[in-house]
Amino acid sequence: MTLTFKFSKNPPKSVDALIAICDSSKKLPETLKTLDKELKGYITDSLKNSDAFEGKAKQSLILSLPKNALAKNLVLIGIGEHKKLTTLAADNIGGKLYMALDGLKIKSAALFSDAKSALDGDMLAAHLAHGMELRSYKFDKYRPKKDDDKTPKNITINVITDLATQAKKQFDHLHSVSSGVFLARDLVNEVPNVLYPESYAEIIKTELTPLGVKVEILDAKKMEKMGMGAIMAVGQGSIRPPCMVIMSWNGSGQKMNKPLGFVGKGVTFDTGGISLKPGEGMDEMKLDMGGSAAVVGLIKSLALQNAKKDVVGIVGLAENMPSHNAYRPGDVIKSYSGKHVEVLNTDAEGRLVLADCLTYIQEKYDPAFVIDLATLTGAIIVALASEFSGVFVNDDKLWDGLNEAGTRTGEKVWRMPLDEFYRKNVESDIGDVRNLAKNGRAGGACTAAAFIEAFIDEGRPWSHIDIAGTAMYGGSYGKSEFDLGPKGATGVGVRLLEEFVSKWK
């Protein structure tokens, strides 16, 4: 089902449903007052008589309207104290508004927003719509007939606000963000027999090229020749060869100079390889390209909004399989950086994929900073559950930007340590670095970050974001509660980084 949003000062002549937010002072939104007058105060009276409904968050009230009204029902959704609204709170309320409509067989609705709140009226209307849109996502391509034929495919939401033009403008920006989020979710939810390195690379090309993004694919042959031994080792056990995809968005219009750099782990399926994972829950390892999906989604958002910045995104795509050709514990491989990596566990594959991507992006683009995203360790889930993504960062300005973006978008981040202790633990006796720390699984997210740090140039602002816990909702690892999306991929990283890039100077 797709939602189409229209913004106007007055509601259309007739719609299937009316929804309005109502705060704990039980004052009606300004935009609803005309209708209330037309109905001779019917709404105000009903609201007064409904003692149980106090306008608190999680409360709702359905009023049936008189025959002459523009719709049969009005759904009032409590939002608590209006003064305290943030854009994130408005997003979340939007999610609830969508849930109040979901399942009703309606084709249109009018949503009454309010110009008088702690949030500017245009922001409130736009973020309510944004939250509705984010929550409306579904991944149902493999059961298209589950909804019966009476369920409309399209719903028009008329957002009623005094600041319609401004709200529409805000929403257009937010819609570019949701489009990126939806792409990231689609990619993560896609099944691993359909999404594998080469098919994934083709999807990226098809999605982004028409938007003006330059998409370049380094296939296995090229990577082999260039000496990208780390990503090649991870992919060598699979019949589906690995590849690297480089997406560049030249928003400045000038020659690319110190672009913003993003790298994503794109392990399309992680069996663990020869260090095979246990069978139970292994199906969830299709999420192991979540970092790359966030980067692809981010680039899509930035291109759609015609962002005036230069951005390069690189994703390393590989399938980690056990086979006669797979890499082994004990192997020593030469990475693209020239550093030798001692492999002690083939399930610690993500850091190898990232290593070659990070060397390449720094060498080729000299980015102002580089941020990598990866579903890298189970240990980050032990540390932070699914509430925060773990951020390792060597630069306070980067951290401040990420932290603020996390607070604003609700994609929360927590700063984790980079330290000599962890670096020591990934030193190898036979090569330069080892992919399994000497101290085993203790502090596993931190030793993984220390490994990646070994591939970052001296003085390069860098952050590694471990999203193993936050990439999915509802699985055995994922978030347990999520207002802005259904069970499955969250698309985490897109909203965080879009907000971060928008504010970056």
Q: CB-wise, 349 or 483, nearer to Mn ion?
A: 349
Active site residue 277: yes
Of these residues, 6, 26, 72, 277, which one is catalytic? 277
Residue with the CB atom nearest ligand BES in the bound state: 378
The phi and psi torsions of 412 (rounded to 5 degrees) equal -70, 145
The phi and psi torsions of 426 (rounded to 5 degrees) equal -110, 10
Active site residue 13: no
Task: Pick what 370 binds: Zn ion, Mn ion, ligand BES, none; C-beta below 5 to 8 Å, kind-dependent.
Answer: none
Q: CB-wise, 85 or 467, nearer to Zn ion?
A: 467
- For the bound state, the minimum distance from the C-beta of residue 472 to Mn ion, rounded and expressed in Å, comes to 15
Q: Which pair of structure tokens corresponds to residue 234?
A: 């991870």
Residue with the CB atom nearest Mn ion in the bound state: 347
Cβ distance 161 to 470 under 8 Å?
A: no
- C-alpha 269, offset from chain centre: 19
**291 near Zn ion (CB under 5 A):** no
> Is residue 318 classed as helix, strand or coil in its secondary structure?
strand
Task: Pick what 16 binds: Mn ion, Zn ion, ligand BES, none; C-beta below 5 to 8 Å, kind-dependent.
Answer: none
Residue with the CB atom nearest Zn ion in the bound state: 270
The phi and psi torsions of 433 (rounded to 5 degrees) equal -135, 155
As separate numbers, helices (DSSP H) first and strands (DSSP E) second, the chain gives 15, 19
Instruction: Find all residues with CB under 8 Å of 338, minimum gap 6, and list them.
Output: none
- For the bound state, the minimum distance from the C-beta of residue 370 to ligand BES, rounded and expressed in Å, comes to 20
- C-alpha 208, offset from chain centre: 17
Of these residues, 351, 408, 434, 495, which one is catalytic? 351
Query: In Å, what is the CA distance from 402 to each residue of 179, 388, 405, 502?
Result: 21, 12, 5, 11
The DSSP element (H or E) to which 468 belongs, if any, is none
Binding region for Mn ion (CB under 5 A): 270, 347, 349
Task: Pick what 444 binds: ligand BES, Mn ion, Zn ion, none; C-beta below 5 to 8 Å, kind-dependent.
Answer: ligand BES
The residue within the footprint of Zn ion, chosen from 270, 372, 453, 499 (CB under 5 A), is 270
Cβ distance 448 to 420 under 8 Å?
A: no
Task: Pick what 473 binds: ligand BES, Mn ion, Zn ion, none; C-beta below 5 to 8 Å, kind-dependent.
Answer: none
Q: Which pair of structure tokens corresponds to residue 37?
A: 């007058």
Q: CB-wise, 316 or 488, nearer to Zn ion?
A: 316
Residues 348-367 binding Zn ion (CB under 5 A) are 350
Binding region for ligand BES (CB under 6 A): 270, 288, 345, 347-350, 375-379, 436, 444, 468, 477
* Cα separation, 292 vs 266, whole angstroms: 5
Measured in Å, how far apart are the chain's first and last C-alpha atoms? 38
Which range of residues in 16-24, 270-278, 322-330, 337-345 is near Zn ion by CB under 5 A?
A: 270-278
Q: CB-wise, 19 or 468, nearer to Mn ion?
A: 468
Positions annotated as catalytic residues are 277, 351
Residues that bind Zn ion (CB under 5 A): 267, 270, 288, 350
